[in-house]
A and B are shown apart, each in its own frame.
Chain A
Amino acid sequence: MENKLTNEGVAAQIQSQFGAAVVSVDMPYDMLTMEIAADRMHDVIEWIRLDAELQIGFLTLLGGVHYPNDKGREFAMVYHLHSWTNNFRIRLKAFLPAENPSIATLTDLYDGANWMERETYDFFGIQFDGHPNLVRILNEDSMDYFPMRKEYHLEDATREDKDDRYFGR
């Protein structure tokens, strides 16, 4: 399938539309990756979906990443979107502070975002403003921590029988 859109072209279009909301543009492994200010993320995703030329209207994946050492930008929300008419993929990122990791929900645009956002809340504790039912989904309701955060180690940290230093961990 032909691909009419170029990474540079789409980046320029979004930049001219949203200006300062675009924090940075990168193309790792040939995939357009843009950092967007968290408060404008919803608008950008809505705009690229409705724009007659871009038509980036399929939400492939959304999820969180935890960077505990990055002050003020501890959480990243990563959105993968795909335009099937143009066969163009884009990755949008927004960074959120640890004190108040919250971002606007996409459930008003994509029903599929519902569970993906619940899963992200469940594992990272990121809040989605306006989500109709933001409760845990895969973990138990009574769980009181967010297990995918980096401070929760996979194995019991008090174990002494295994010394990971020898294995480069």
Chain B
Amino acid sequence: MSTFKEDSAYDMPHIGLSNETIDGDIATLNLGPTHPATHGIFQNILQVDGEKILSSEQTVGYIHRAFEKLAERRPYNQITPITDRLNYCSSPINNIGWHMTVEKLIGAEVPKRVDYMRVIVMELARIADHLICNSVIGVDTGALTGFTYLFQEREKIYELYEEICGARLTTNVGRIGGFERDFSPEFHRKLEDFFRTFPKVFNEFDSLLSRNRIFMDRTRGAGPITVERALNYGFVGPNLRAAGLDYDVRVMNPYSSYEDFDFSIPVGVAGDTYDRFMVRQEEIRQSLKIIEQAWKNLPEGSYKADIPEFYLPPKEEVYNNMEALIYHFKIVMGETPIPAGEVYHSVEGGNGELGYYLISDGGRSPYRLQFRRPCFIYYQAYPEMIIGQTISDAVLTLSSMNVIAGELDA
């Protein structure tokens, strides 16, 4: 019975549930904050009539870590680990996006080889991100097999990260100006191995789900959104493309030499869970295509830009060379002069346009750093997408939107 209005447990300013019911027999259901089907810490207080959702109130902020405040006290190179923890399914994209923002501010030019190396790493991250999302959609429809199977391949991507930077999840990959070291022979061997096994495994996964009658019946029409509503809500990335608009930062505002590569942007029609799934599937294939091109045509040259004021010198030089020691000291102590100015830079993250709005007053830390976190902006549309749907569709919608709590809550 609907007694929640009088219930003081819900006496919280941010939660206002409506009193409208269909037949006066509605229940209130807490989906989250910690619930195995939400894949992250989100609370949704649903009003349900049987299985049908009448309204939803969201609470976010459970893992807010004050990144923007933290960034105002850290030197620029120490902000990279913060970006790891935004969308932690595709940390390298966040790291590299941040490096490029700072490079834009200081006016650094990076060699072509760095661009291509970055493209390889970022596209690997995109594959890892989409693999998680799509295999979890499988899990939420009851198909665990694909998830466990694909995670073997994701493990290979993580080993590739490890080969580049030593870390796996929160990668902190690269530096302002490039990478800390060149791709090792072992990296190339592992990438070759990945290319040998991954497409086969991925196609198997695809054949398990994409045209599977049960999967299609479950996902088609679940959590749809029209392209107009999606635009109004600030959707970007695969979720927007599933609704039918081909906006992609890699094409619209190419960065890191994306204009050199031949790839296409998949778009959906209905904006429902099935289309979101299919768009991500195709994006994985396109990412593979990009990696292949970048890897085959990897230009000769340096793996770092020539910006000694910002790029840590090799340790043996620090011990034997005065300039190197000075640069080392200044970088570590955050004493490098930074130009004053403001820049906005965006990259196509796992979830769409990931932006960095940076204001520098010339101090050791940013005066203000604001992240455009795609999740935070598009997750507002969630109630609208699930009202009138069933609870099981709501779970699917949440996982197919790829809402990552770290990015949502900053």
A residues within 8 Å of B by Cβ? 1, 28-29, 31, 33, 57-61, 63, 65-66, 78, 80, 84, 87, 89, 91, 110-112, 114-116, 119, 123, 133, 135-141, 147-148, 154-155, 167-169
Contact = CB atoms under 8 A, between A and B. Distances in A.
14 contacts: A1-B251, A60-B346, A61-B370, A80-B372, A111-B381, A116-B377, A135-B13, A138-B60, A139-B61, A139-B64, A140-B61, A141-B12, A154-B69, A169-B364
B403 to A, nearest CB: 13
Given A61-B370, A61-B372, A63-B357, 16 more contacts: A1-B252, A29-B342, A31-B343, A33-B342, A59-B234, A61-B344, A80-B344, A80-B355, A80-B372, A89-B344, A112-B232, A112-B234, A112-B380, A119-B376, A140-B61, A147-B66
B79 interface: no
Given A138-B64, A138-B409, A148-B68, A167 B233 contact: no
B70 A154 contact: yes
B73 A154 contact: yes
A80 B377 CA distance: 14
Given A1-B252, A60-B355, A154-B73, A111 B232 contact: yes
Contacts of A139: 61, 64
Contacts of A154: 69-70, 72-73
A147 B359 contact: no
The majority secondary structure among interface residues of chain B is mixed
B187 interface: no
Interface stretch (B82-90, B198-206, B318-326, B333-341): B333-341
Contacts of B104: 29
Interface residues of B, number: 49
Interface string B1-44: 00000000000111010000000000000000000000000000
A133 B235 CA distance: 21
A84 B377 contact: no
Contacts of B398: none
Contacts of A123: 68
B380 A111 contact: yes
A116 B373 CA distance: 10
A100 to B, nearest CB: 22
B370 A87 contact: no
B127 interface: no
A28 B343 contact: yes
Contact of A168 (B234, B251, B335, B342): B335
B344 A31 contact: yes
B231 interface: yes
Nearest to A120: B370
A29 B343 contact: yes
A28 to B, nearest CB: 5
B410 A138 contact: yes
A148 B367 CA distance: 11
A133 B14 CA distance: 8
Residue among B61, B233, B377, B379 with most chain A CB within 10 A = B377
